[in-house]
Amino acid sequence: GCILDGKVYPYGEIPRTENCLRCSCGQETMYCCSLYHTPVGYDKEKCKIMFDKKTCRYDVVQKSDPSKECTVYSRV
């Protein structure tokens, strides 16, 4: 298998790791890509980003009231 962040994964496709990556594990190499998009277009003065590992996504919320979401204009 392949080792990523100290954990052993079996050969083949790994739909989701503990760190929200999708990977392909081969005998010679392991390729991974993220399952989430990072917010870049939002009001950085009034809002902050928070990562949710359960859903593998970033939430953008108000700094003054994290229960309220902010508008996100773009993600990468």
**By residue range, what is the domain housing residue 44?**
39-75
What is the rounded average pLDDT of the residues 56-63?
Answer: 96
| pLDDT given at position 64 | 97
Instruction: Give me the pLDDT at residue 2, please.
Output: 93
What's the CATH code of the domain at 50? 2.20.25.590
Confidence of residue 23 (pLDDT cuts 50, 70, 90): very high
- Kindly state the average pLDDT of the residues 1-17: 93
Total residues belonging to the chain: 76
- For the question of whether the overall pTM of this predicted structure is more than 0.85, the answer is no
Token pair for 67: 């229960």
Render pLDDT for 35-52 as a digit per residue (tens, 0 to 9): 999 999 999 999 999 999
**What phi and psi, each to the nearest 5 degrees, are found at residue 73?**
-95, -25
Indicate if 30 and 48 belong to the same structural domain. Answer: no
